[in-house]
Amino acid sequence: MPYVVTDECCLCGACISGCESEAISETETKAFIDVNICVECGTCERNCPSQAIIFVDDDELANYQ
């Protein structure tokens, strides 16, 4: 049940600076959460001003990688 970033991301950077696990990086189009590092604390989901971070089923993960 990983957190992922949708196309609603506006690259504001809030999630990246707020992730204590340093699991989030920036791509050309949106933020990217490394599910192997993420501890699923939910901070980024709560802080995203665009509601771009969502929790998905494992079988949906491939759509966001």
Q: Residue 4, interface with ligand SF4 (CB under 6 A)?
A: no
Give the pairing type, strands 53-55 and 24-26: unpaired
Q: Three-state SS for 4?
A: strand
Please give the residues from 26 up to 55 whose contact with ligand SF4 meets the rule CB under 6 A. 30-31, 33, 38-44, 48, 50, 52-53
Q: Residue 17, interface with ligand SF4 (CB under 6 A)?
A: no
Count helices and strands (H / E) in the chain.
2, 4
Write out the residues near ligand SF4 by the rule CB under 6 A: 3, 5, 9-15, 19, 21, 23-24, 30-31, 33, 38-44, 48, 50, 52-53
